[in-house]
Amino acid sequence: MHPAAPPAPALPARAAGAPVDAPSRPPALRPWSRIWRYLAASGIALVLWVSVAADFLPVDGAPLPEDVEARIGGALVLDALLGLAALAMLPLRRRHPVLVATLAGAMSGVSASAVGAGVVAAVSVSTWRRWRWVVPVVAVWTGATVFYELVWRSSIADDGATVGFAALAGGLAMGIIGTCVATGFYIGARRELVATLRQRAETAEREQAAKADAARGAERTRIAREMHDVLAHRISLVAMHAGALAYRTDLSREETAEAADVIQRSAHLALSELREVLGVLRADGTPVPDDGAPAEPPQPLLTQVRELVDGARVQVEAVLDPAGLPGGDLRALVDLPATTSRTAYRVVQEALTNACKHAPGSDVVVHLAGGPGGLLTVEVHNGPPVWGRPVPAAPGSGFGLVGLAERVALAGGVLENVSGPDGSFTVRCWLPWEESR
């Protein structure tokens, strides 16, 4: 049973080092590509049929015996019919390449006009680059040629060919079929190369699109983290201080004025920082002017942590403890790398914001410790809330600590948080403190 062409595989391109005879389904032909193949096969068939007819007829025009003339006429009719049958099989050469090429080669044993279709079928089967398909076709072609010269031709014209002439004809047939096989292998290799290059181009485009999407996602995450770290803190302070003023009647005039001043300053800072973030998100990328100030001011550093702690004292009893730093002074943080300093500042900011939200009135202690060449330790501990009723807190996303852990990990540090059974909460962070050079 002759093998049929496998269905179109949905496989990647052949990798380097794969066997050469691993085929891929030939691409669909355009209308003109099909037409010129049929025209070439028909032209070859017509030329060969005329050549055979001229070979059978006597050169001097002498009359032939009736039986010889009948044999020649029948052979020419059979030759033409088999040539047409071979042409009719060509549309099936992609579905059954070996069967079509083998039958066309076998027909050439009694029909010279079948050679035209056989050439096209032989080239087509060779494009698959499977030797176990090609070898039978070559063998049938060679055997059919020898049979034509030794048996068929001599039985018609009564002038049998010699063995040497038959061997010469077989060698010529092998040369023709070898040319067809080489052409088919070249076409198949070129098709595979084009398909591989196309697949590589498509893969590169997909990878480029994926990288662009990842870059956009990373930038959106960075902007969302900055907005959370900056705006959420400011607006949370505004909401909590306003809530404290709404129900705390034991505040003195000075404390009330201080809380109102914090609300005003936090609101102004929130608006300013929101304007800066929106400036980054503008399509043209141009900064939004803010009374001559730069669109992106320097990010806050850990040296400004005292202002952060002071701003939270309306809601919690916040205390800064820098005793673990060299000299027990915040001035030791001047030589802290900028990335580490900004990350530590955000840790304290997020911890204070959560303490003000969930533990109003509690004691909050911010511990700073470490030194150059070692680790910077930041610990923010708050006790349970002590006020009679909770302050209405601003709604939160619940992802503050998650984003903070990502920020700390990017800086090469570790973040942990521990909650106590009494409602206390501790945030600890360790960041590398490289020595300044």
- Per-residue pLDDT of 300-352, as tens digits, reads 889 899 988 888 887 788 899 999 999 888 888 988 988 899 899 989 988 98
350 or 219: which carries more pLDDT confidence?
Answer: 350
> Helix 253-281 vs helix 163-227: angle between axes, to the nearest 10 degrees?
160
Q: How far apart are CA 256 and CA 68, in angstroms?
A: 129
> Model-level pTM greater than 0.95?
no
DSSP secondary structure, 408-425, as one string: HHHTT-EEEEEE-TTS-E
Q: How far apart are CA 313 and CA 330, in angstroms?
A: 19
CB 426 within 8 A of CB 381: yes
Question: Which helix (DSSP H) or strand (DSSP E) does residue 404 occupy?
Answer: helix 400-410
- What pLDDT is recorded for position 377? 94
- Per-residue pLDDT of 227-269, as tens digits, reads 766 676 667 777 776 776 776 667 777 777 777 777 777 777 7
CB 340 within 8 A of CB 435: no
- What pLDDT is recorded for position 364? 93
Q: How far apart are CA 34 and CA 13, in angstroms?
A: 26
- What pLDDT is recorded for position 315? 76
- Tell me the pLDDT band of 379, cut-offs 50, 70 and 90: very high
Q: How far apart are CA 228 and CA 222, in angstroms?
A: 10
Q: How far apart are CA 292 and CA 86, in angstroms?
A: 86
CB 251 within 8 A of CB 243: no
Strand segments, DSSP code E, in 297-424 are 317-324, 363-370, 374-382, 414-419
Q: How far apart are CA 158 and CA 166, in angstroms?
A: 15
Position of tokens 């990328």? 285
Across the strands, what pairs with 321? Answer: 367
- What pLDDT is recorded for position 200? 92
Q: How far apart are CA 299 and CA 342, in angstroms?
A: 7
Tell me the one-letter amino acid at 260: A
Closest by alpha carbon to 192, among 336, 321, 309, 25?
25
Written as six digits, the tokens of 216 are: 């956009």
CB 377 within 8 A of CB 369: yes
CB 370 within 8 A of CB 420: no
- Per-residue pLDDT of 28-75, as tens digits, reads 777 777 788 888 888 888 888 888 887 777 666 667 777 777 888 888
Q: What domains appear along the chain, each with residue ranges and CATH number?
A: 31-204 (no CATH), 302-387+396-432 (3.30.565.10)
Tell me the one-letter amino acid at 321: D
- What pLDDT is recorded for position 370? 92
